[in-house]
Every structure is written in structure tokens, then in C-alpha cells.
Amino acid sequence: MTPISFMTANYVARQLDYHMTKGWMEGDDATNAYFAPLETYEERFTALLAEIKSLGFTAIDLWLGHLNWRWATDAHIAIASRALQAADLPVVSLAGGFGGTRAEFEAACRLANKLGVKILGGNTGLLADDRPTLAAIARNYGVRFGYENHPEHNTAEMLAKIGEDHQDVIGFCVDTGWFGTHSYDAPQALREVAPRLFHVHLKDVLAPGAHETCRYGQGCVPIEACVRTLKELGYTGGISIEHEPELHSPNDDCVANLAMVKRWSA
């Protein structure tokens, strides 16, 4: 069964009291600063999981703002592992930036290993600079790297970005919202990248040309058609419910999104 998970980056604006006016990195920095202190980590991470669980989710995609390979000590990881087990919330993927050097990507892979995670969805500078090393590290740690499309306007650009080699460990963690931003047919895109599709960030955006996320059905991405296309393709990877509003909590929308995806997947 395809796991349907909650992307914890949905809370990117949480530590700014949902007043994120300076872009993504403002929320990213605030979240990392809030969660990094070890003395408060257990209380804060446990509360995060409890809130997600209360929304009806049974799995998460763990954004690095909440446990980052850049600052996570063994103590942080042990706390997170215990809390995840107690909440019965398995981690389907890690999400975020995985550095630009061999040492940085290996640190991200070690974090994945300690959490029992097999998918890294996001970006790493090694994809452009040293793809063979990226692939070798991924194989060594038993993980797969899914590149998350952002600037690419179509699947031809996406496929050129990841290359034709190392297909066992380098593929896509597709973000459907960016297809909407770039006015590219999302269900068709899923068909075109299906052989390299490791994970899906299911996201809707209000209108082309921008990237303001919204509840499914209120934007320009045909989310229902995306879910039905994945089913037709026999896709068995994860589907992440992703919605990152800058000025309000995503909770109510994510509960509605989860119900829709369950219905369309049935």
C-alpha cells in the first residue's frame, strides 16, 4: 500500500507565528534555531509529532528543519527515534538540502540510516558536480536520492538534470506544485518520469507563475488526476501531503487533503 504522509515542512512558517514575509529561508532559519537546542528538543519534537498524529496522519516526511544533519547529535537522533516510535509515526523520507560535498551528503545518509529512512528527497550539489560519487555513497548507505524539481520547466529539463545513469539510486522526488507554477501538465509529467519516480510531494498552487500553496482543488494543479494517474501507473512509493502556507496554519487544509487523497486512492 502506498503510504500517505505529512510533510513536516508544512510548518515552515510556524516559528514565525505564520507571518513569513521574507521567503522560505526566513522560516527555515527560524525552525532550525527553534529545534536545534538539545535541552528543549525532546519537548518540542514530541509536541510536533503529537500535533501531526492528531490530524489523522500515520507517517511523516521529516524536513531537515526539525532534525538537521548539520546540527543533529547522537542525542538528538536518539530522542527523535524514541519519540517517533512512541508516536507510531514512521519516517517515509527525509526532505531538504543534503549539502554540496561528499562529507555533507554522507552526514545526511548517516542520519537516514539511524532513522531507518530509505529516501532522501530534495537536492545536493553532488548531483551537478559529482554524480558518480553521489551514487556510490547512496549505494553504500542503502538509500535512494530523489531530486525535487524546482526551477525545471518540464520533464526534459528534469531528466537532463539527473542524467541517464545510476538509475537504481538517483531518481525523482516529484513536487507537483512546481508543475503548476510552470504551467506543465502534472499527470502527464508523472507518466513521463514514472521509471525514475521514487517519491511524490503532492502539492497544489493557486496560479501559474507563482508558488502560493493551497488546499487541493483550490489551485491550478489537477491533484485528483495526479493521484489517479499514480494508481494507473502502479506506483507504490510514498505520497506526501505538502502545503506550506506563509500566513496561516496548514492543519485544516491538510486534514481535508488527506481525506481527498484517501478517497481518490480507494
Q: Tell me the residue length of the chain.
A: 266
**CATH number of the domain to which 52 belongs:** 3.20.20.150
E-assigned strand segments in the chain: 4-7, 60-63, 91-97, 119-123, 144-147, 170-175, 197-202, 204-205, 213-214, 238-241
Q: What is the pLDDT of residue 2?
A: 84
Digit-by-digit pLDDT tens for the chain (266 residues) are 689 999 999 999 999 999 999 999 999 999 999 999 999 999 999 999 999 999 999 999 999 999 999 999 999 999 999 999 999 999 999 999 999 999 999 999 999 999 999 999 999 999 999 999 999 999 999 999 999 999 999 999 999 999 999 999 999 999 999 999 999 999 999 999 999 999 999 999 999 999 999 999 999 999 999 999 999 999 999 999 999 999 999 999 999 999 999 999 99
Measured CA to CA, the distance from residue 260 to residue 56 in angstroms comes to 13
How many domains in the chain? 1
At residue 91, the 3 state secondary structure works out as strand
CA angle (226, 227, 228) in 5-degree steps: 90
> Which residue range(s) make up the domain with 192?
4-265
Sign of CA dihedral 18, 24, 30, 35: positive
Closest CA to 50 of 86, 9, 3: 86
Q: What is the C-alpha to C-alpha distance for residues 202 and 1, in angstroms, rounded to an integer?
A: 17
Q: Cβ distance 142 to 115 under 8 Å? A: no
Q: Output the pLDDT for position 1.
A: 61
